Structure 1
């Protein structure tokens, strides 16, 4: 398992990024059905306990998708005064509803105390989330809370390259897009717009 702050940042961003551009001008949803959620969780064994054996059902899918809507709403709130992701412009929840969903999900399951003790060390208590559908949703909600209250939140940005709907962490002062290909698309679009204005 990764250290907690890094894990929480990755989980929160990974959940938000399950909404993405589909390459054809629309928006794709990696969590469109229970098999999508199952595959998404299983692809993160370093972040989610019990990921290798996880199997989502429709209730788990609904819970995680509702949580994702709350997280993306809170991401949109966090990037202000910048614009939210274009995918969220018409889907944002009222802030109190997003907070209620997030906090309700975070309390779905308690942590389980686990004792570690070897012959030559003192006993150590580790708190690990319980496993199961509610535990996955709770862990994702808790990760989002930790991220949104942590030191990485001020670096959160929405990418506004053409057709992109991603959020990302700004790594250096001049970074405007989530990845180089988005920067290239934005530059091409600006060049085409300038050329169009010159011709007309």
Structure 2
């Protein structure tokens, strides 16, 4: 059984968040070209093997973008019965296709058995990826699987503030948005909507 580490959670969420609001009413893609993927890899060097000096090419970009589409489809599935991110609503992969894509990518990383044995507990067998041998999509897929099978999945939400397309982890029961600025935008939009058509 895989256990999601903080690095797994970061990688899975940050991969999904490479699709974001562009600040002008549209959606921006941080992975629009190999240079964007290279910058993203370098920004996550602490969580990715052999990231330092890595330069992405078109093949890697296509593989990571295909994996991201699968991850976002499974995130949309995970937040049900809530609505998915508005960026995904009209173009989600079917869940079986997303699962096949994620599992195929994860299979590119060999795993090794790891024994864990804590005090006053029975020994447990884990399977861990051999990160040095895996390609980038395999490492990202392993992180996404660990996240989606872990307890943090139940905290996953899509932010529905105006113009936001992010997924986030809900930190407290009343949290509705991914960040305070989204909450402010949502409150302003509600205020304008209430006062748009005053009662006669």
> Same fold, TM exceeding 0.5?
yes
1:164–1:182 CA contact under 8 A, matched in 2: yes
| Pairwise CA distance, 1:111 | 4.5
* Cα deviation code 1:84-125 (max 9, x no counterpart): 000001110111000000000001132489xxxxxxxxxxxx
* Residue equivalent to 2:177: 177
1:112–1:130 CA contact under 8 A, matched in 2: no
- 5+ long unaligned stretches in structure 1: 114-125
User: Residue 130 of structure 2 is aligned with which of 113, 125, 128?
Assistant: 128
| Pairwise CA distance, 1:128 | 3.4
C-alpha separation between the residues in 2 aligned to 1:60 and 1:153?
27
Give the root-mean-square deviation of aligned CA atoms. 1.8
* Residue equivalent to 1:38: 38
User: What secondary structure, in the 3-state scheme, does the structure 2 residue paired with 1:53 have?
Assistant: coil
2:159–2:166 CA contact under 8 A, matched in 1: yes
C-alpha separation between the residues in 2 aligned to 1:164 and 1:35?
24
C-alpha separation between the residues in 1 aligned to 2:155 and 2:54?
32
2:109–2:130 CA contact under 8 A, matched in 1: no
* Residue equivalent to 2:84: 84
| Pairwise CA distance, 1:53 | 1.8
* Residue equivalent to 1:117: none
Residues 127, 91 of structure 1: CA spacing in aligned structure 2 closer, same or farther, 3 A cutoff?
closer
User: What secondary structure, in the 3-state scheme, does the structure 2 residue paired with 1:157 have?
Assistant: strand
User: What secondary structure, in the 3-state scheme, does the structure 2 residue paired with 1:20 have?
Assistant: strand
TM-score w.r.t. the length of structure 2 is 0.87
C-alpha separation between the residues in 1 aligned to 2:33 and 2:129?
31
- 5+ long unaligned stretches in structure 2: 114-127
